[in-house]
């Protein structure tokens, strides 16, 4: 039997709404500014990882920020992120629903790989920057795993599904996801950060990252559920490099 030793971070709904609103603000601002004169294009690369005692998320993040007209401190752009997610400590994923009524699967370890396209908004004040990134489209890869399945309410389960309680079933990471910031049903990352530039080419990035992890079982289980999810929050540290200004 597996036990979940990874401490899940509970993220307030207000923070999620704020980041989701930020995404749409970014889109609307970009539309309103695109008619203005382009003043600067900034390219950069972040190499780092999110981390806790039981997890880490090594990532390479390429970004391009555009500034317009007189708003040179505001950058709006896109990101391309490639990374991995490793969660140790027998993580547990649950179906969406009311607490106490959620079926669950548990694994010895989660290892997945991501390729994502996202949006970024960045406030640049010379040697210090503040910003946020959100995945729009996320592609996840990982092996099919045998996971321990537990049913929360055996009385509501059919006889065929009851036989699977406390047995191993097959599950794999959800391969394609949209807007993980908006729903826990999608794999992906979002982050808020501060970037400190030591010189014009090199800096350090500090921040906080939200990571959605979604696995789908091969066959529908109790209540036709196939999707099992969890959300983790963690600090991260990265080295930043200016590619071009």
Q: pLDDT tens digits, residue range 158-214?
A: 888 999 999 999 999 999 998 887 788 899 999 999 999 999 899 999 999 999 999
Instruction: Give the residue-averaged pLDDT of 129-135.
Output: 94
Domains of the chain as residue ranges with CATH = 13-34+43-244 (2.40.160.20)
Strands (E), the chain: 38-51, 55-68, 71-87, 92-94, 104-106, 110-125, 128-141, 145-150, 167-173, 176-178, 188-197, 202-217, 227-244
Q: Which two tokens stand for residue 5?
A: 């030793």
- Higher local confidence (pLDDT), 1 or 109: 109
DSSP 185: T
Over residues 72-83, the pLDDT tens digits come to: 788 899 999 999
C-alpha–C-alpha distance, residues 57 and 84, integer Å: 5
Mean pLDDT of the chain: 85
Ramachandran quadrant class, 162 (left: phi over 0; alpha: psi -120 to 50; beta: rest): alpha
């Amino acid at each position: 039997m597996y036990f979940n030793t990874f401490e899940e971070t509970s993220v307030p709904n207000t923070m999620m709404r704020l980041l989701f609103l930020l995404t749409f603000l970014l889109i609307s601002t970009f539309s309103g500014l695109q008619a203005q004169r382009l003043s600067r294009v900034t390219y950069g690369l972040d190499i780092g990882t999110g981390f806790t005692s039981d997890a880490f998320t090594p990532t390479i993040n390429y970004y391009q920020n555009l500034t317009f007209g007189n708003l040179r401190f505001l950058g709006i752009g896109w990101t391309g992120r490639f990374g991995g997610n490793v969660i140790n400590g027998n993580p547990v994923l649950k179906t969406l629903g009311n607490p106490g009524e959620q079926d669950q699967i548990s694994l010895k370890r989660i290892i997945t790989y991501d390729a994502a396209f996202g949006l970024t908004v960045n406030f640049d004040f010379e040697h210090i920057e503040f910003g946020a990134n959100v995945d729009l489209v996320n592609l996840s890869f990982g092996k099919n795993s045998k996971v321990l399945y537990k049913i929360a309410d055996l009385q509501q389960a059919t006889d065929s599904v009851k036989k699977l309680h406390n047995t191993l079933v097959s599950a794999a990471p959800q391969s394609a996801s949209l807007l993980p910031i908006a729903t826990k049903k999608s794999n992906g990352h979002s982050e808020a950060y501060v970037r400190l530039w030591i010189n014009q080419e090199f800096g350090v990035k500090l921040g906080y990252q939200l990571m959605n992890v979604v696995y789908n079982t091969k066959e529908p289980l109790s209540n036709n559920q196939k999707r099992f999810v969890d959300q983790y929050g963690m600090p991260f540290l990265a080295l930043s490099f200016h590619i071009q200004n």
